[in-house]
Amino acid sequence: MIRRGFVDDKIGLKYGAGGRAMRALIERVCLAGIGPAPVDGIGLAAMDDGAALRIGDRWLVITTDSHVVHPIVFPGGDIGRLAVSGTVNDLAVMGATEPLALTCAIIMEEGFARTDLERIYASIHEACHEAGATIVTGDTKVMGRGEIDGLVLNTAGVALCDRVVPDSGLKPGDLLILTGTVGDHGMAIMAARHKLALEGDLRSDVAPINGLVRAALEAGGLDVVAMKDPTRGGVSSALHEMAEKSGVGIIVEEMKVPVRNQVRAACDLLGIDPLVVANEGKALIGVRASAAEDVLAAIRRHPLGSDAAIVGRCIEQHVGAVILDTGLGRRMLAEPEGELLPRIC
């Protein structure tokens, strides 16, 4: 459903940072006049993590993403690892966990160091190896000094799968599994960018999680009904999208949301809710209640899923809303306008 939310006459940074503002921009501008969705498929209007086209009795899933993170090297990763992981994860949460191929286009600023480019490409190849993916084509452009800030990467990916899992398949009674701790990527970027002297080892969670998602699908089968990776706008933005598209309300038990101590300490110090901070190696997985424990156990057996937890459940009331149960009471969780930091992924 297109809501046509308010959009300013001049496009600010918040419109590229996930959350309610970016959704409003896409709905008002990008979807205006768009053609019909592929027959029996998923197109742009669904605003899911990718598109799905029926090919015989299978699905071809396609996704693309541009990466403008600053700094381009950060604790736990760099823009190359981020680009591969972001695209692989977008495919995975559509149910396509075995990428056929990726593309990689690069735009560099004049004067960019060759050694830095070599490091980024080494990271790209390493992340591809982890994901079982490969780069099959690309493009290279160089712009004048000052015309672009360093380096921008665009990646696209394609994969085949037998069943597409949208982000809109939730029903009342379904449970939501979060595959690990939240806020690691966003707080690591924030600390690195602003050289914050925070205690603890803040590191991004950036990683391809197609293997973890595959384990969840193998354990849950058709009872895995919705998935989304909570990147820009964090868990809060992802849950609001899933609730609105599915026509349900969601109750989140705050005490069950896994947060690393160093991330929680940094968030407390800066007055930030970990639920609105970006992640780059996590997924929200909606499952029928009868299968939830089996899916959770399979995720926890994966090396990237040891901190997974069931954090929420779907209800009939409060359609499109996310309610936070703090253990002492309940309050409505607001959908973030955008990401706290621009250029985070």
pLDDT tens digits along 180-226: 999 999 999 999 998 887 767 899 999 999 999 999 999 999 999 99
Note the pLDDT tens digit of each residue in 81-100: 999 999 999 999 999 999 99
pLDDT of residue 7: 85
Q: Identify which has the larger pLDDT, 14 or 37.
A: 14
Mean pLDDT, to the nearest integer, of 62-75? 95
d(CA 3, CA 98) in angstroms, rounded, equals 34
The DSSP symbol for 42 reads B
Is residue 9 very low, low, confident or very high in pLDDT (cuts 50, 70, 90)? confident
Model pLDDT, residue 316: 98
Answer yes or no: is pLDDT of 264 > 50: yes
Closest CA to 5 of 294, 302, 244, 165: 244
Give the mean pLDDT of 57-64: 96
- Three-class SS of residue 318? coil
Yes or no: say if 218 and 287 are a contact pair by the CB < 8 Å rule.
no
pLDDT for res 1:
46
According to DSSP, residue 139 is labeled: E
Instruction: Determine the average pLDDT of the residues in 302-310.
Output: 98
4 confidence band (pLDDT: 50, 70, 90): low
Q: What percent of the chain has pLDDT over 90?
A: 80
Element (H, E) at 267: helix 261-270
Q: How far is CA 283 from the centre of its chain?
A: 7
Q: What angle do CA 14, 324, 266 make, to 5 degrees?
A: 60
Question: Other C-beta atoms within 10 Å of 118: how many?
Answer: 10
Distances (CA, A) of 272 to 3, 161, 190, 341: 28, 38, 11, 12
* Counts for the chain of helices (H) and strands (E), in that order: 8, 14
Higher-pLDDT residue of 55 and 5 is 55
Average pLDDT, the chain: 93
Residue 208: exposure state from Cβ atoms within 10 A (0-12, 13-18, ≥19): buried
CA 240/CA 343 separation, integer angstroms: 22
What is the pLDDT at residue 22?
A: 85
The predicted pLDDT at position 3 comes to: 54
Candidates 208, 205, 161, 166; CA nearest to 49 is 166
Tokens found for residue 107: 């735009």
Nearest to 283 by CA among 208, 343, 203: 208
